[in-house]
A and B are shown apart, each in its own frame.
Chain A
Amino acid sequence: MTRTKHSRLPKSDALIPVLMILPSLIAIAIFVYGFIAWTGYISLTDWNTLVRNLDFVGLSNYAFLFQDFRFQSDLRNTVVFTILFIVATIGFGLLLAMLVDRRIRAEALFRNIFIFPMALSFIVTGVVWQWILNPTTGVNLILQALGAAKGHLPKWYISTSIVPGISGGQIELGIPIALIAVVIATVWQMSGFAMAMYLAGLRGISDELKEAARVDGASEWTVFRRIILPQLHPITGSLVIMLTHISLKIFDLIYAMTGPGAMFVTDVPGVYMFETTFRGNHYAQGAAIAMIMLLLVSLLIIPYLKSSLKEGAS
């Protein structure tokens, strides 16, 4: 961002820009900050019935959640899902970008095919992938045709196993296998985004630098690791932040594709919040889940916003 010079207009005129942006600022102040404060307050009350009850109960809703089997499962699932989703999306996105960036024919066509799922709703994605990964049909039919024994076919999102399944109090710790089905659907939807970001970055790396290294006898792998990857670091950083915050908030896809799952193997805080608030009328508990989600997102986003804006202003 280039810093704009302040205009030298009479004082009365200098007020106009402020007045023009004021309605938006007031709207954000109320609808974002005011409502967050109100949600925070609700999370400290006893409003867990349809009738509003704003008796102050301190942190008891939070205490309940951290002892709750479902919420503990949600936290485990969020950690597992975030890691799998980010590694797979970024890895696959980078691979696609490297392939597309090789001066190929019909580059635009390939790019468009890899990005088009981004234009779809998570709901559509959920509905379609629920069908493709349905254990009694879909991909399993192909695996069967390829010779997989019927008893050994993956159960996809129906699976209740958690690997390795170390006991961690009430819940089992490990990777819920059912989440892998969700990861496949999200990677299909989001890796085009990672590819587009990386392609923009790859276009910025000078060919001379790569050529010079090749002339010096560096292998393609060395060129990739020593020259290309380091220059893509800032993009990887942005991607990790954008994708993590999407993963922390994820709701629609899981709600449409699998729901909470048996033993909550595919449940996430977004789904729990929605169900407990709007299906169970546990408003205070829902508010507490929402505040925890907000806290996690804030820990990630606030430093990112601060550094981006500081960088931009200088």
Chain B
Amino acid sequence: MTTKLVKRALLYLVLISFALLFLVPIYVLLTTSLKGNNEVTLDQMWAFPSQIDLSGYKLAFSKLFPHLGNSFLLTIPATILSALLGSMNGYVLSKWAFRGSNTLFGLMLFGMFIPYQSILIPLIQFMQDIHLYNSIPGLILIHVIYGLPICTLMFRNFYVAIPTEVLEAAKIDGTGFFGIYRHIIVPLSITGFVVVGIWQFTNIWNEFLFAVTMTTQKQQPIMVALQNLSGSQIVQWNVQMAGALLAALPTLLVYILLGRYFIRGLLAGSIKG
């Protein structure tokens, strides 16, 4: 009995230590960002701020605000569009499979694994040719297209679980392709849309390579602006940490509120579903 108790206590001790270790970066982010310029010295890094000073946030916010706006303008439409397309594709591939559709699906999936460096140079030329280079709509287009494989995969795996009998019955009743989609598939897809939506929102918000190569100055999304902020040597650590927290806040909030669905998305990324 006592050995069991000791074991149990030990288990919690280990778990709590790991949890605290995982939260160290958050502690550093919060405490450093709340310090005033006189307190962000190297030797006091771990110390608690003696008083809460929001000057770091003020400066970070004034520098990052337009870029936060860019990121919302980019992420929300791109998420919605790629989820809608993914849902339609997943519906076709799971319920209306045609000859060769499995191969085409495989060819599509390959697109989510490629290093995007391997399409970047032509992509920039293409965006310049269609006059969408250095624009938010251009980035939306890019994220919708390169988001197709993962969104299609997630919805397809989600729809495979819907019994085919339900659809067969509807077909006998004369309901067609779109009728089934609207009246049977969409109502059953709410969870699917939440999972895919959160996944795309997080990924597009956090994306850097397309953002840094496709935009300059005013059009830059938040992650590029944050990198510029921290890359310039003159910026104080409290401003950098405040900036990092501001940039992370939207996806962190989504995670805190809807973490369950984020984890489902995480697991849905493996192909077998």
Contact = CB atoms under 8 A, between A and B. Distances in A.
A272 to B, nearest CB: 10
B152 A132 contact: no
B120 A99 contact: no
B55 interface: no
B106 A121 contact: no
A213 interface: no
Interface size bracket, B side: 35 or more
Interface string B92-118: 111111100110111111110111111
Interface size bracket, A side: 35 or more
Most A Cβ at <10 Å: residue of B96, B117, B168, B237: B117
Contacts of B205: 121
Contact of A200 (B93, B259, B267): B267
Nearest to A18: B98
Interface in B172-191: 176-178
B6 interface: no
B194 interface: no
B13 to A, nearest CB: 11
A141 interface: yes
Most A Cβ at <10 Å: residue of B18, B114, B255, B262: B114
A227 B126 CA distance: 54
Nearest to A286: B121
Contact of A113 (B22, B45, B95, B111): B22
A196 B269 CA distance: 12
Interface in A104-126: 104, 110-125
Given A36-B114, A112-B259, A141-B43, 11 more contacts: A1-B273, A24-B89, A28-B107, A31-B123, A113-B22, A114-B22, A121-B248, A123-B208, A197-B270, A269-B117, A273-B117
Interface of A: 1-9, 13-14, 16-18, 20-21, 24-25, 27-28, 31-36, 38-39, 42, 96, 99-100, 102, 104, 110-125, 127-132, 134, 136-138, 141-142, 188, 193, 196-197, 200, 238, 242, 245, 248-249, 251-252, 255-256, 269-270, 273-274, 277-278, 283, 286-287, 289-291, 293-294, 297, 301-302, 304-306, 308-309, 311-313
Interface of B: 11-12, 14-15, 18-19, 22-25, 28-29, 32, 42-43, 45-46, 85, 88-89, 92-98, 101-102, 104-111, 113-123, 126, 145-146, 148-149, 152, 157, 160, 164, 168, 171, 176-178, 202, 205-209, 212-213, 223, 226-227, 230, 237, 240-241, 243-244, 247-248, 251-252, 254-255, 259, 262-263, 266-267, 269-273
18 contacts: A1-B273, A25-B104, A31-B123, A32-B111, A39-B118, A100-B15, A112-B255, A113-B19, A115-B262, A116-B255, A117-B25, A121-B248, A124-B206, A124-B223, A138-B45, A277-B121, A293-B115, A294-B118
